Amino acid sequence: MANFMETVKVNDLVTTWVEEHAADLIKWSTDIWNYAELGLEEYQSSKLLAEQLAKAGFTIEMGVADMPTAFVASWGTGKPVIGILGEYDALPGLSQKLVPEKKPIIPEGSGHGCGHNIYGVAAAGGAIAAKEWLEKEGIPGTIKFYGCPAEETLVGKVFMAREGIFDDADICLTWHPGSVNTIWSSSSLAMNSVKFNFYGKSSHAAANPEAGRSALKAVQLMDIGVNFLREHLIDPIRIHSTITNGGGGPNVVPDKAQIWYYIRAPHRSEVEETYDKLINIAKGAALMTGTEYDIDFITGCYEMLPNKILGEVLLNNMKKVGAPDFDQQDMKLAKELTDSFDPGMKELVVKTSGASSKLIEQLLHEEVVEPFDEGKSMSGSTDVADVSWNVPTAQFTTACAPIGTPGHSWQNVVAVGSSIGQKGMLSAAKILGLSVVELMLDADLITKANEEFINEIKQKGEYISPLPEDLKPPVPVKVKEMK
Ligand SMILES: [Zn+2]
Ligand SMILES: [Zn+2]
């Protein structure tokens, strides 16, 4: 429960703006929840946010970095330049009605299983709220809202970083919907997403197998090679795959086959080394089967460098704003959603996050806690990491779903479409807005954040885009033609 006196203390223009515009922000997030557009297809979602930012006086540059749904919204003049990152893409197969049982709106349709509907809106709301205050006070400085598409496929920010979109920002702030109110202090796994294509020769599998060269056998041998490699890799490295083309009928030797790998590791250099090993295995598989291969490099990303100075700014403002104020109705929904989890799931999610096991007894998180993941690496990847290698970056989470809600689940879609997620979103908008204001007023904090960043880059090496120079963002052709 938010402390009343603390709420009054920070009840300045930023928090008032968010409170007065709560109905608008909720409407925007509901619209984006309903659009549920997949990565690089977020035409309505990006348009909604860009239009609202434009209405508030921001200048919009649409379609940056060769992605029609990526944009930059800027307001103000001169230094410092403070960036806020926003996301708005949905996930396939997670279409879900706002009911506490699994019921899709559209079978196999998409849904906001990661809460990016409230992610983008809180970020835009925070940017507008901070702008209102700067404008009124006549404080110089620039706010930039970065509209980042396709986070789920780790595409948007990596391609934007390659184009230098974040280069003029002094710092970047962001958040992510979660189930606890705290700073996100952990790193994340660096990653490559790569498809290996094998090309053989088809023949009748019974009549003339000797004339055929099986591309599928090459895929199978490659996967066996990769599985033998695992023993010789450090433990946190994760390699997972799907066979995206295994040929047609068993009576035709397949002349084409494809396997898609995600290679993840705590450091970018370890991803690169492991990737080189996979290329050697592909060469071996091709040699063994008399086939040829090539590679579709889909995307790659770095590991997150969380900036501690900025993390402290976010945490202080988070304490001022307080946890979202949930009511009986929120608790009822949280209980229904929690009851639908698989046995042991809540315990597993809390344990994996590193949070206190005491949280398991609670339904919704109603306090702000110190970070519990410092020095750790979360077992997933995010393209926010690629921003963090270019400009000092920090992020936080607010409670937008019941404690222990699995990520990318239908329960999460319900939570972030309901008042639980909406309350977490309004808190996040206030925290972002207040943090922008604090940093605009304290040049010293920005200098310190940059010193920390420069030190870290000195130790770890400069950012080199993981993407091949000539690689274009994978904008779906069908969508491009339609719009
Ligand atoms: Zn996600
Ligand atoms: Zn996400």
> From ligand 2's centre to the CA of 214, what distance in Å?
39
Distance 383 CA to ligand 1 centre (A): 11
Strand segments (E) across 149-248: 171-178, 182-183, 190-199, 238-245
- Ligand 1 centre from 151 Cα, in Å? 7
Kindly give the distance from the C-alpha atom of residue 116 to the centroid of ligand 2, in angstroms, as a whole number.
Answer: 6
Say what the pLDDT of residue 10 is. 45
Tokens of 247: 């040929």
Average pLDDT over residues 364-371: 96
Reference 318, options 458, 452, 185; nearest CA is: 185
Residue type present at position 91: L
Whether 141 contacts 134, CB under 8 Å = yes
Q: Ligand 2 center to residue 228 CA distance, Å? A: 32
DSSP code for 56:
T
Q: What is the pLDDT of residues 424-437, one digit of tens each?
A: 999 999 999 999 99
Q: How far is the CA of 91 from the centre of ligand 2 (A)?
A: 10
What number is the average pLDDT over the span 414-443? Answer: 97
What stretch of H or E contains 258?
Answer: strand 256-265
Residue type for 197, please?
Answer: N
Question: How much is the average pLDDT of 64-69?
Answer: 98
Q: CA separation (Å) from 358 to 207, 365, 424?
A: 66, 11, 21
In the reported structure, the alpha carbon of residue 33 is separated from the centroid of ligand 2 by a whole-number distance in angstroms of 14
> How far is 389 from 316, CA to CA, in rounded Å?
24
Q: Which helix (H) or strand (E) holds 292?
A: strand 292-301
Residues 6+ apart with CB under 8 A from 214: 200, 247, 253, 254, 257, 289, 291
Look at residue 9 and tell me whether its pLDDT is greater than 90.
Answer: no
Res 8: pLDDT: 38
What is the average pLDDT value for the chain, to the nearest integer? 95
pLDDT in the model for residue 375: 87
115 C-alpha vs ligand 2 centroid, how far in Å? Answer: 7
pLDDT value at residue 11: 52
CA of 408 to the centre of ligand 2 (A): 8
Has residue 162 got a pLDDT over 80?
Answer: yes
CA of 382 to the centre of ligand 1 (A): 8
Q: Is the pLDDT of residue 243 over 80?
A: yes
CA of 130 to the centre of ligand 1 (A): 27
> Does residue 273 have a pLDDT over 50?
yes
CA 167 / ligand 2 centre spacing (Å)? 23
The pLDDT-based confidence of 285 (bands split at 50, 70, 90) is: very high
Q: Which ligand places an atom closest to the C-alpha of 152?
A: 1
Question: In 360-474, which ranges are continuous DSSP H helix?
Answer: 384-388, 410-417, 419-441, 443-460
Least confident of 87-101, 301-315, 371-385: 371-385
Question: With 90 as the cut, is the pLDDT of residue 238 above it?
Answer: yes
Ligand number nearest CA of 406 is 1
For residue 61, report the distance from its CA to the centre of ligand 1, in Å: 26
Could you tell me the distance, in angstroms and rounded to a whole number, from the CA of residue 90 to the centre of ligand 1?
A: 8
pLDDT, position 378: 85
When comparing pLDDT for 483 and 288, which is higher?
A: 288
Q: Write out the two tokens for 310.
A: 């900025």
- How far, in Å, from the CA of 113 to the mean position of ligand 1? 7
Cα 392 to ligand 2 centroid, rounded to whole Å: 20
Residue 7 has pLDDT above 90, yes or no: no
Going from the Cα of 95 to the center of ligand 1, the distance in angstroms, rounded, reads 15
Q: What is the mean pLDDT of residues 241-251?
A: 96
pLDDT band of residue 479 (cuts 50, 70, 90) is: low
Q: For residue 478, name the pLDDT band (cuts at 50, 70, 90).
A: low
Cite the beta strand spans of 346-399 per DSSP E. 393-399
Instruction: Give dist(CA 235, CA 244) in Å, integer.
Output: 26
Whole-number Å distance, alpha carbon 150 to ligand 2 midpoint, is 10
Q: Which of 121, 125, 158, 155 is nearest to 143 (CA)?
A: 125
Helices 13-20, 22-35: crossing angle, 10 deg rounding = 60
251 Cα: distance to centroid of ligand 2 (angstroms): 43
* Torsion on CA atoms 101, 104, 110, 111, rounded to nearest 10: -30
Across the range 252-262, mean pLDDT stands at 98
Q: Phi first, then psi: give them for residue 192, nearest 5 degrees.
A: -125, 140
Note the pLDDT tens digit of each residue in 195-226. Answer: 999 999 999 999 999 999 999 999 999 999 99
- Cα(176) to centroid(ligand 2), Å: 7
Helices (H), 40-105: 43-55
Distance CA 17, CA 181 (A): 22
Global pTM value: 0.94
Residue 182 CA to ligand 2 centre (angstroms): 16
CA–centroid distance, 176 to ligand 1, in Å, is 10
Tell me the ligand closest to 94's alpha carbon.
Answer: 1
100: CA distance to ligand 1 center in Å? 21
pLDDT given for residue 1 in this prediction: 40
Distance 151 CA to ligand 2 centre (A): 7
CA of 116, nearest ligand number: 2
Ligand 2 mean position, distance from CA 80 (Å): 28
Residue 267 and residue 368: Cα distance in Å, rounded?
30
Which pLDDT does position 376 carry in this prediction? 87
